[in-house]
Amino acid sequence: MIMYQNQYKCHAGKVTMLWNQEVQTDRTIPNNKLDIIIHDNKQGTRTLIDVAIPGDRNVIKREAVKILKYKDLTTEIQLMWNVRPEVTQVITGATGTISELLRQYVRNIPEKHEIKELQETAILHTAHYCGKC
């Protein structure tokens, strides 16, 4: 049951989900804005989720770039909040192409999520976008 919800925050019991917000840190970090941040206060975990829908040929390349992109931020969060954050990539190609690691990443996100649903969403948004061109 959702107790509090606005444009950037959703609080449901012991879990708080933030999206499209910058992470406030003690020092300046260039890549401090993630798509979704899940604070599970009951388990004491932080899951940082970055979502991307690149062209199909760039799925693996984008995944590697994203891992390096948030390295400084995860170190800073670990020092500030005294938790080890887990960075999760949800990268699906524009026509549904996925990497071998996507299944592992999706398992790190709380609740159950289907790869097929992620692929369908990527394809529908690609078709919607292409229809506007």
Q: Which of 13-17, 29-33, 55-59 has the lowest mean pLDDT?
A: 13-17
Q: What percentage of residues in the chain have a pLDDT greater than 90? A: 3
Taking the C-alpha atoms of residue 97 and residue 103, their distance in angstroms, rounded to an integer, is 12
Q: How many CB atoms lie within 10 A of CB 117?
A: 9
pTM: 0.76
61-81: per-residue pLDDT in tens? 988 888 888 899 999 989 988
> 87: closest CA among 12, 21, 36?
36
Q: CB-based contacts of 83: which residues, under 8 Å, 6+ apart? A: 44, 45, 46, 77
Taking the C-alpha atoms of residue 77 and residue 87, their distance in angstroms, rounded to an integer, is 11
